[in-house]
Amino acid sequence: MTHGTDSASDSGPAPLSLLAMAGSCRRRSFNRALLRAAMSRVPEGVEVRDFDPSRLPFYDGDVEAAGDPGEVAEFKAAIHAADLVLLVTPEYNGGLPAVLKNAVDWGSRPPRPQAWDGKPVAIMGATPGRLGTALAQRSLRESLAGLNAHVMPQPRVLLSGASAVFDDDLELADEATGKHLDRFMSAAAEWARRFQ
């Protein structure tokens, strides 16, 4: 899907390609809802593609040795093609969900340079609890830093009390959160442009 203009004017910023993923398999997921809210707030000139990481098989060296499955090859190509990757993570037992860690692992595999190398990344997360996915985000940042990704340091979206922020249809119903998402997405676009 495309938001904003198809191309930048001579005096405007260069267009950006954004690859977005939510690390939750649950249909009524707060993190999927947060991703939808974020994608509706991308700045002008940003083209958004979302990818469902649950499509990927679990990483297995034997599977890799036989050649990347189609979903894996598609995923790696999508990361390489993106100017920015947006990762939205739940927090499970103080850490990352397996489906998102699996995506990070597949993206780190050959051919070289691996897909995360030098890639601008923005991270956010939502939870009904109080910590706003802080532990999961820290773990994700550490994994990506080891892969030479450029993870945006600030601002951050650590959304706690998510059940009070989304309505029954999982639409964002909190104005302050919406304004923070606007700032976050604008900052993420600027972060990506640093590395174009």
Q: Which residue has the tokens 């090859």?
A: 73
- Looking at residue 9, its pLDDT comes to 47
- The DSSP result for 141-173, as a single string, is HHHHHHTT-EE--SS-EEE--GGGTB-TTS-B-
pLDDT band at 191 (very low <50, low <70, confident <90, very high): very high
- Looking at residue 11, its pLDDT comes to 62
The tens digit of pLDDT for each residue in 35-53 reads 999 999 999 999 999 999 9
Per CATH, the number for 2-6+13-193 is 3.40.50.360
Between the alpha carbon of residue 2 and those of residues 37, 45, 50, 159, 174, the distances in Å are 15, 8, 11, 26, 25
Phi, psi of 140 (to 5 degrees): -65, -40
- Looking at residue 14, its pLDDT comes to 76
The tens digit of pLDDT for each residue in 65-101 reads 999 999 999 999 999 999 999 999 999 999 999 999 9
Domain boundaries, the chain: 2-6+13-193
Q: How far apart are the first and last CA of the chain?
A: 21
